[in-house]
Amino acid sequence: MLSEEMIQEYIKSIPPIPEVVKECIDAINEGDLVKAALIASEDRALMTFLHNIVNKPIFGFRTDVKDAKQIFGVLGLSKAKQIIFSYYVLLLVPKSWEVFDFNSLQFQDFQARLIQHWEKILNFLKIEDRELANSITIIPASLIVCEMLFRPINETVRLLLERKNMSYEAILEKMTGKTLFQIASLIAKDWGFSQKVRTLIDKLSKDDATLLQDERMVLEYMRLLLIFEMSRPVMMQSGLSQMFELELPEDENITERFYSLMSE
């Protein structure tokens, strides 16, 4: 059985943001990509991550982007920040996954796809809010939270899922009263994300009429993006497609528009 205490303990166990990440983000916030590249090039692990992620097919660069300055240059300020945040999320990934049949490389693919698709969506919606752009980077943390929290009761939960059509999130909510996104929102607080982003993530599971129309629209698309990504073969094979309990959009036109956008 999961409990609120276990959630608190897990959040406490998350290590603080490494200095190199902080410095890089500060440089990006100052608008200095050259400085950010210099800082990043000092850290081999960060450079390996940047090289791997930037050269994923989803980003569509035709030649191998190797050098730190080159990497930050092609990414630009907004995406560079998202990728630095993604690096920090990646540091939380367990060496081996037990609950889900997943691995670190697949996790990086997931991060890259979310960033790239989210940018496409925000462009489509004509939204330039950088905070909103960065908010997508916190979502993959919920996969790790789910993996870590469910480990102690994995076998029992698997048997439960063989009998009943439930998501991990629904089980978590019944046991602790918290959704995965509410936990992700708590993590976002520790990472210094703004109240606006934290609120949006907190309310990602279902539509909330108290939010502004624009915010509801953003959440609708974010939900669709997650549902879309969770429908992919790799997510189905890993078991992660059973993770979230997301409210489905009522307006079919939005779904149609979204699918066309993703198919472009």
Partner 1 sequence: MKPILKQKIAFFYPTGFIDGENAIDIVSPLDVDYLKSIKPEGIFISLKKVVFFNKRGISLIIESLNSVRDKNGAIIGFCDYDIKKYKMIVEMFKGDMFFSLFDSADIVSLYIGDDISTFKEKKILVYNDKHEQKNQLALELYERGFAPIIAKNRADFLAKRKDVDLFIENSYLGNLDKTPTVFIKDNVIVYTLKNFVDSDISKKFDLTYHNNTLRVGFKVFLFDATEVSSINVHGVNFIAKLSIAGAEYGATIAMCGLNARKITEKLTHDLEDAGVAIYPGLKDLFDDEELLSEAQNSTSVAKKGKGINKQLISYLPVVAEAALKTIENLSGQKIKRNALKLQELISSNTESAFGVSIGFYGDIEGVLILIMEQDIAKKTCKILLEDENKEDDLLDALGEFVHIIGGKISQMLHKKGVKIDITMPRTFGSLKEVMSAQTKTKGAQIDMELEGKPLILFLTK
Residues contributing to the site for partner 1 (CB under 8 A): 1, 3, 153, 155-156, 159-160, 162-166, 171, 174-175, 224, 227-228, 230-233, 236-237, 241-242, 248-249, 252, 255-256, 259
- The smaller minimum CB distance to partner 1, of residues 31 and 233, is found at 233
Those residues with Cβ within 8 angstroms of residue 259's Cβ, 6 or more apart along the chain or in another chain: 228
Query: Taking the complex as a whole, how short is the minimal distance between the CB of residue 19 and partner 1, in angstroms?
Result: 39
3-state helix, strand, coil in the chain (%, to 5): 70, 0, 30
Query: Taking the complex as a whole, how short is the minimal distance between the CB of residue 186 and partner 1, in angstroms?
Result: 21
Residues comprising the chain, all counted? 264
Query: Taking the complex as a whole, how short is the minimal distance between the CB of residue 37 and partner 1, in angstroms?
Result: 36
- The smaller minimum CB distance to partner 1, of residues 58 and 74, is found at 58
- The smaller minimum CB distance to partner 1, of residues 14 and 224, is found at 224
- The smaller minimum CB distance to partner 1, of residues 14 and 218, is found at 218
In the numeric block, the tokens 């692990």 are attached to: 45
Alpha helices by DSSP H, the chain: 4-13, 19-29, 33-41, 44-54, 68-91, 104-124, 130-135, 141-150, 154-163, 168-176, 180-190, 195-202, 213-230, 233-238, 252-263
Query: Taking the complex as a whole, how short is the minimal distance between the CB of residue 109 and partner 1, in angstroms?
Result: 15
Those residues with Cβ within 8 angstroms of residue 255's Cβ, 6 or more apart along the chain or in another chain: 224, 249
- The smaller minimum CB distance to partner 1, of residues 44 and 164, is found at 164
- Half-sphere exposure for 156 (CA within 13 Å, toward CB): 7
- The smaller minimum CB distance to partner 1, of residues 45 and 160, is found at 160
CB atoms within 10 A of CB 48: 11
- Distance between CA atoms of 250 and 248, rounded to whole angstroms? 6
For residue 261, the SS3 value is: helix
- Distance between CA atoms of 100 and 243, rounded to whole angstroms? 10
Query: Taking the complex as a whole, how short is the minimal distance between the CB of residue 208 and partner 1, in angstroms?
Result: 19
- The smaller minimum CB distance to partner 1, of residues 174 and 196, is found at 174
- Distance between CA atoms of 245 and 185, rounded to whole angstroms? 16
Query: Taking the complex as a whole, how short is the minimal distance between the CB of residue 148 and partner 1, in angstroms?
Result: 17
DSSP result, 27-42: HHHTT-HHHHHHHHHT
Query: Taking the complex as a whole, how short is the minimal distance between the CB of residue 120 and partner 1, in angstroms?
Result: 16
